[in-house]
Amino acid sequence: MRRRECPVLIEMDQQERLPAGIDAPSRAEPVEVSLALRDRGWTPYRIWFDEGEGAWIAAVIYRLDAGSRSCLRGAR
């Protein structure tokens, strides 16, 4: 059986979700997604799988030194 890869989205606030640039299996554990995000410089504090969107959602603590938000805007 093939594993379904799903995008990981960063939730900046309740209305704005941006792609993190990584994918994770739909059956992954939240800790696996968290570690992948930490490798990218994010500080996730809540991660869940949204079946309606078919994506992992990560609420993060935004850090200016991570510079990730500007990178994400360019990835759109």
Q: Domain limits of the chain?
A: 5-75
Does 55 have pLDDT greater than 70? yes
Confidence class of residue 26 from pLDDT cuts 50, 70 and 90? Answer: very high
DSSP reduced 3-state for 30: helix
pTM of the model: 0.76
Distances (CA, A) of 63 to 9, 28, 45, 69: 16, 26, 13, 9
Give the lowest-confidence range in 37-41, 53-57, 67-71.
67-71
